[in-house]
Amino acid sequence: MKKVLTGNQAVAYGAMLSDVKVVAAYPITPQTTIIETLADMQAEGIGDFDYIRVESEHSALSVCIGASMGGVRAFTATSGQGLFLMHEMLHYATGARVPVVLANVNRAPALPWNIWSDQTDSISQRDTGCIQLYCEGNQEVLDTTIMAFKIAETVRLPAMVILDAFWLSHTSEPVDIPEKEAVQKFLPSFDPGDMWLDPENPRTFGSVSMSDVYMEFRWLIQRDMERAKGVISETHTEFGNLFGRNYHQVEGYLTDDAEVVIVCSGTVASTGRVAVEVLRSEGKKAGMLKVKTLRPFPSDEVKNALRDKEKVAVIDRNFSPGAQGVWAQEIRSALYELADSERPLLYGYIAGLGGRDINIGTIRDIYERTSQSETPEDADIWVGVKYV
Amino acid sequence: MIEIRFHGRGGQGAVVASKLLAHAVFLDGKYCQSFPAFGVERRGAPVTAFLRVDDRPVRVRTQIYAPDHIVILDPLLVDQVPLTKGLKPGGTVILNSSKSAVEFKSFFKGFRIATVPAAEIAIRYHLGSPRFPIVNTAILGAVARALGIVPIESLVKAIKIGVPAHAEDNAEAAREAYRAVNDE
């Protein structure tokens, strides 16, 4: 059934259709309407889950971890400062190997206060061991929420569905809502195997591990995060076969003969498609590469997509102070493995922080600047900043 | 693609208006994308909302800089907000006002003008209070008529599904406004 939904409603539908059993959350703009929608669904009996109100985001994720250890599917949602408060428990969720799914609506970090879109909040969770999936439209948001449970449960790691503040969270557009029966076929009930708090079979989880075994636990996380790359691709394929909508960790658009490939994530990829069409209509050889996953990072796909290209321009709606945009860093690392003769020049651009618009003109400027330059500058270029 | 910008005040329902019209064109088989200007909402403060309508999925996810049409829910905004900023030449201005369209001709030079007494209609249907009527559904009736982008029946259906209360009164207000449009 097609309906006009906001991105936040799409998340709520995704979680409800995934048959979550526990939702624990604390409100924060611009996420709040996700958990409001879920609260309505629970109150109206559309969703059969416990809705647990907590006093902080730290507690919200803690409750989800407990629920997941209890053997049921658990979900939460947050944004910006709320995600920062969850940070400790996100590491914990990975260590506990609980497949909790959370939605994060990208919101800029304070100070100064800003509720608008900026990836720095989710990017800051890069090293927690949480899978990160960035979405470009409300349909992808709904579909990815469902797929996130499957991916997380297959590799037993937490997963984060990420959507831009307002550009998706509060934007209404048509979304195809799958039938619950079809979703259940794709995503059967959560099976925790023998790793859950079973009163009939008492065991200890999360005890101290000394230096002689700690590293082995961490290695298992790395092994399964690497495995997640294949699992994400398989999940995308299976979802595509069942529902007719295809997603990829890395997706090229008009890249075949492109002289400049612009790398985008989130909603910038959506606008990026239109921007490269406009540039093409002017006879300019522009292409767009959308990267959906930050963790695990699909380095092989990125490498293959960009091999032998002349120039790559990476748009980062985030930055790591003292270093550079994080997508640019990741892509630069992936390209290092290429031979000198097949490695493109890489240009990093910081744009759209705190919700500043990244429009077709912005992308055109990035294309022109990259196209006209012979060698990249030492540091990322901050697009449109008044001091520069 | 048609791009429309709504201007109102917090509490008048401009954001809901953009959503209802999105839903209406969707019911009519078109693609839509509606979103509010992402400010910090306060009752009475100027509010902006946006709508894109197209025959194929809308992929551009940016602000609207050059709207085809604008819809003004509060005529007093005329002195306070640069309403026609970026409005395409020959674009339509739909204004909540009891005055005739011709009276705004010199003010909105170069644009098509349509007026509708949306506040009077909203008050008649007890939408909001007499001092602060909620004019969004009435003005949408005028939008349907003046722009011809959606049949009134699709709009009425979207209103009945989408408004949180007084569905029938809101739908009737839209119908009455549809009939009451004054354009040059």
Q: Which domains does chain B have, with CATH numbers?
A: 2-183 (3.40.920.10)
Q: Is B12 on the interface with A (CB under 8 A)?
A: no
Q: Are residues A22 and A162 in the same domain?
A: yes
Helix axes B167-179, B136-147, angle to 10 degrees: 40
Residue to test with chain A: of B3, B15, B61, most A Cβ within 10 A: B61
In chain A, residues with a C-beta closer than 8 Å to the C-beta of B26 are 2, 4, 174
Of the candidates A271, A346, A246, the residue with the CA atom closest to the CA atom of residue A302: A346
A219 falls within a domain? yes
Q: Is A359 on the interface with B (CB under 8 A)?
A: yes
Query: What DSSP letter does each residue of B155-171 carry, written as one string?
Result: HHHHHHHH-SS-HHHHH
Nearest to A166 among B33, B38, B65 (CB): B38
Last residue of a domain, one of A213, A243, A273: A243
Q: Are residues A19 and A128 in the same domain?
A: yes
Residues A349, A355, A360, A363, Cα dihedral to 10°: 0
Q: Are residues A191 and A286 in the same domain?
A: no
Q: What is the pLDDT of residue B21?
A: 97
Last residue of a domain, one of A243, A271, A293: A243
Q: Where are the alpha helices (DSSP H) in chain A?
A: 7-17, 32-43, 57-69, 80-96, 120-123, 138-155, 180-186, 211-243, 267-281, 299-306, 326-336, 360-372
Q: Are residues A7 and A144 in the same domain?
A: yes
Q: Is B65 on the interface with A (CB under 8 A)?
A: yes
Q: What is the pLDDT of residue B42?
A: 73
A102 falls within a domain? yes
A53 falls within a domain? yes
Of the candidates A78, A58, A152, the residue with the CA atom closest to the CA atom of residue A122: A78
Q: Are residues A261 and A187 in the same domain?
A: no
Q: What is the pLDDT of residue B79?
A: 85
Residues within 8 A of B (CB atoms), A 278-297 only: none
In chain B, residues with a C-beta closer than 8 Å to the C-beta of A165 are 38
Q: What is the pLDDT of residue B80?
A: 86
Nearest to A359 among B22, B38, B62 (CB): B62
Q: Are residues A284 and A219 in the same domain?
A: no
Q: What is the pLDDT of residue B93?
A: 97
Residues within 8 A of B (CB atoms), A 155-184 only: 164-168, 170-174
A311-316 and A345-350 beta bridge pairing: parallel
- CB within 8 Å: A170 and B63: no
- CB within 8 Å: B61 and A270: yes
Q: Looking at the complex, report in whole angstroms how far the Cα of residue A140 sits from the nearest Cα belonging to chain B.
A: 12
Number of domains in chain A: 2
Of the candidates A42, A111, A39, A35, the residue with the CA atom closest to the CA atom of residue A80: A111
As a residue count, chain B comes to: 184
Q: Looking at the complex, report in whole angstroms how far the Cα of residue A165 sits from the nearest Cα belonging to chain B.
A: 9
Residue to test with chain B: of A36, A173, A290, most B Cβ within 10 A: A173
ipTM value, please give it.
0.94
Nearest to B58 among A165, A166, A173 (CB): A173
Q: Are residues A12 and A30 in the same domain?
A: yes
Q: Looking at the complex, report in whole angstroms how far the Cα of residue A197 sits from the nearest Cα belonging to chain B.
A: 44
SS3 label, residue A382: strand
Q: Looking at the complex, report in whole angstroms how far the Cα of residue B157 sits from the nearest Cα belonging to chain A.
A: 14
Q: Could you give the CA distance from residue B177 to residue B133 in angstroms, rounded to a whole number?
A: 14
CATH code at position A177: 3.40.50.970
Q: What is the pLDDT of residue B2?
A: 97
Q: Are residues A260 and A378 in the same domain?
A: yes
Q: Is A357 on the interface with B (CB under 8 A)?
A: yes
A47 falls within a domain? yes
- CB within 8 Å: A270 and B23: no
Q: Are residues A219 and A269 in the same domain?
A: no
Q: Are residues A216 and A263 in the same domain?
A: no
Of the candidates B4, B50, B55, the residue with the CA atom closest to the CA atom of residue B26: B55
Q: Could you give the CA distance from residue A202 to residue A260 in angstroms, rounded to a whole number?
A: 58
Q: What are phi and psi of A144, to 5 degrees?
A: -70, -35
Q: Is B132 on the interface with A (CB under 8 A)?
A: no
- CB within 8 Å: B61 and A165: no
CATH code at position A341: 3.40.50.920
Q: What is the pLDDT of residue A386?
A: 86
Q: Are residues A160 and A76 in the same domain?
A: yes
Range of the domain at A65: 2-243
Q: What is the pLDDT of residue B78?
A: 86
**In sequence order, what are the residues at sequence separation of 6 or more whose Cβ sits closer than 8 angstroms to the Cβ of residue A115?**
A29, A30, A79, A80, A107, A108, A165, A355, B38, B40
A388 falls within a domain? no
A271 falls within a domain? yes
Q: Is B62 on the interface with A (CB under 8 A)?
A: yes
A187 falls within a domain? yes
Q: What is the pLDDT of residue B104?
A: 94
Last residue of a domain, one of A205, A225, A243: A243
Tens-digit pLDDT string for chain B (184 aa):
999 999 999 888 899 999 999 999 999 999 999 999 867 667 778 899 999 999 999 999 999 999 999 999 999 998 888 999 999 999 999 999 999 999 999 999 999 999 999 999 999 999 999 999 999 999 999 999 999 999 999 999 999 999 989 999 999 999 999 999 998 7
Q: Which helix (H) or strand (E) is B176 found in, with range?
A: helix B167-179
Q: What is the pLDDT of residue A77?
A: 98
A45 falls within a domain? yes
Tens-digit pLDDT string for chain A (388 aa):
999 999 999 999 999 999 999 999 999 999 999 999 999 999 999 999 999 999 999 999 999 999 999 999 999 999 999 999 999 999 999 999 999 999 999 999 999 999 999 999 999 999 999 999 999 999 999 999 999 999 999 999 999 999 999 999 999 999 999 999 999 999 999 999 988 999 999 998 888 999 999 999 999 999 999 999 999 999 999 999 999 999 999 999 999 999 999 999 999 999 999 999 999 999 999 999 999 999 999 999 999 999 999 999 999 999 999 998 999 999 999 999 999 999 999 999 999 999 999 999 999 999 999 999 999 988 889 998 988 6
Q: Which helix (H) or strand (E) is A349 found in, with range?
A: strand A345-350
Nearest to B33 among A2, A171, A357 (CB): A171
Please report, as a single letter, which amino acid is at residue A65.
I
- CB within 8 Å: B60 and A274: yes
Q: What is the pLDDT of residue B41?
A: 66
Q: Are residues A296 and A255 in the same domain?
A: yes
